[in-house]
Chains A and B, each alone.
Chain A
């Protein structure tokens, strides 16, 4: 498969992965373009690999974690608005739907407060469906660290499921 065929075939899936990772369309496009440029310059090696997607995913993850070292205040404000909107949706919905919406909003809140690497681990585990060993390989950490980090994040998430719809906001 040549490079352009690969981009045409896989850009959708990789963009969705980048979008889940970043929660932002523009950032996802930036990440994906940069990853493609990176792959292009060594395409012969990437294409020869068993799974070119794995290479692209690794570049996307590493770039994302590098950039996430700093977060802008606008991102935080957006998060607050998002949660406020979510609360409105809960109030306007019936009880069954409200529980599901509240759970997902609780999950989003927990995800927003996680360290970037912890969130990335959850994305790789529950969106990309990678095994812990593969996640460890992508992030350059041990499988035990992956399991521990995921376990702690899930514990936090479980603590809020099924309770009252989320009422808090991240800042006053």
Chain B
């Protein structure tokens, strides 16, 4: 016999289903995606794209150069200014790097990003820079990366930055003009699946649609993280494919995910967790996992990588009502570390995206099928 709760659930689901609208041109859209996927598969096979191993190789190499907690000390290099090399793919960048430093001048994105060798010493150590990059949060929150290469360089970014969202407050735009910065360059091995799980279609959100489809091996991103103590960073992305659209090249202020310590209280039979979102940040992912009797809560913020303050009023703490029986005492299950966090690396085994490996907080590993 069906009880009332089950009846209500069926009604709710039926109402939701009735709101679904089958889009016209669905078959054609699927055809387009299949054709694109075939092109990607051909290109990926030619490049030998297997993500995780290559990605880890890059990171491990970087950490060897700078153990956690230490600063990077690199002997002065014999700089080779020479003519600038126009770079179109990540392997071309890798060939210009030695000892975690750029050794030749390079131009990316047709001049949008200009890199030159630099002999200065960074204040921000390489491990921290890599961690900030790994916790970066692109639109939609998830990305799969391949072939990351990390190095120190003199950076000039001439591409205009797209405005940050109003939720971050009044933002001082970072400027990179011959600035010492950690540079991370990586490619997207399966661009067709680099689709933000978003209610806003990428074409609409980004405004501009490129006229031609970029070659897969020319799709990459570059994040520049100031090597001083400012916390500033920008990210440049070449034209790419996202879901059903081709996106034009663009530059943004970078963000990263930061786990937030939360405080739980019980009042009037309701348990709530509250957090204070830091300046220049917006509330990010909220994860409540468990049962009504025991809930694990993880709350994160998306931090804009600009020099604070951002002039956003501090406001009241954000409060989330936790599921569970009224009056339950909260258990102090907190994230292990309130630090840059988020998805670090993804692995795609067969370009379907059906298997991915994500790392949370550097300790909580989740394998999803």
Q: Which residues of A contact B (CB under 8 A)?
A: 4, 7-8, 11-12, 15-20, 23-30, 32-34, 36-38, 40-41, 59, 62-63, 65-74, 76, 103-104, 106-108, 110-111, 113-115, 122-123, 126-127, 140, 149, 152-159, 161-162, 168-172
B37 and chain A: residue at smallest CB distance: A37
Whether the pair B323, A156 counts as a contact (CB closer than 8 A) is yes
- B-side interface mostly: mixed
Q: How far is the CB of A33 from chain B (nearest CB, A)?
A: 6
Query: CA A9 – CA B14 in complex, angstroms?
Result: 20
Neighbouring A residues of B321 by C-beta, 8 Å: 113, 168-171
Q: How far is the CB of A45 from chain B (nearest CB, A)?
A: 13
Whether the pair A72, B284 counts as a contact (CB closer than 8 A) is yes
Neighbouring B residues of A169 by C-beta, 8 Å: 321
The one of B201, B319, B323, B366 that contacts A69, using a Cβ cutoff of 8 Å: B366
Whether the pair B356, A104 counts as a contact (CB closer than 8 A) is no
User: Do A140 and B17 contact each other (CB < 8 Å), given the known contacts A11-B22, A107-B8?
Assistant: no
Query: CA A63 – CA B200 in complex, angstroms?
Result: 18
B11 within 8 A of A: yes
B60 within 8 A of A: no
Whether the pair A11, B283 counts as a contact (CB closer than 8 A) is no
A114 and chain B: residue at smallest CB distance: B323
Whether the pair A11, B5 counts as a contact (CB closer than 8 A) is no
Query: CA A168 – CA B270 in complex, angstroms?
Result: 9
Q: How far is the CB of B140 from chain A (nearest CB, A)?
A: 8
B166 within 8 A of A: no
Q: Which residues of B contact A (CB under 8 A)?
A: 3-6, 8-23, 26-27, 29-30, 33-34, 37, 141-142, 192-193, 195, 197-201, 243-244, 270, 282-293, 316, 318-325, 343, 352-354, 356, 358, 366, 368-369
Neighbouring B residues of A154 by C-beta, 8 Å: 3, 5-6
Q: How far is the CB of A97 from chain B (nearest CB, A)?
A: 13
Whether the pair B366, A159 counts as a contact (CB closer than 8 A) is no
Whether the pair A107, B9 counts as a contact (CB closer than 8 A) is yes
Query: CA A29 – CA B33 in complex, angstroms?
Result: 13
Q: How far is the CB of B316 from chain A (nearest CB, A)?
A: 7
B30 and chain A: residue at smallest CB distance: A36
Q: How far is the CB of A15 from chain B (nearest CB, A)?
A: 5
B197 and chain A: residue at smallest CB distance: A67
The one of B20, B243, B324, B369 that contacts A25, using a Cβ cutoff of 8 Å: B20
Neighbouring B residues of A115 by C-beta, 8 Å: 288-290
Whether the pair A37, B33 counts as a contact (CB closer than 8 A) is yes
Neighbouring A residues of B354 by C-beta, 8 Å: 38, 59, 62-63
Neighbouring A residues of B287 by C-beta, 8 Å: 69-71
The one of B141, B192, B291, B352 that contacts A152, using a Cβ cutoff of 8 Å: B291
Q: How far is the CB of B317 from chain A (nearest CB, A)?
A: 8
Most buried by B among A62, A114, A171: A171
Whether the pair B5, A19 counts as a contact (CB closer than 8 A) is no
Neighbouring A residues of B4 by C-beta, 8 Å: 103, 158, 161-162
Query: CA A23 – CA B15 in complex, angstroms?
Result: 10
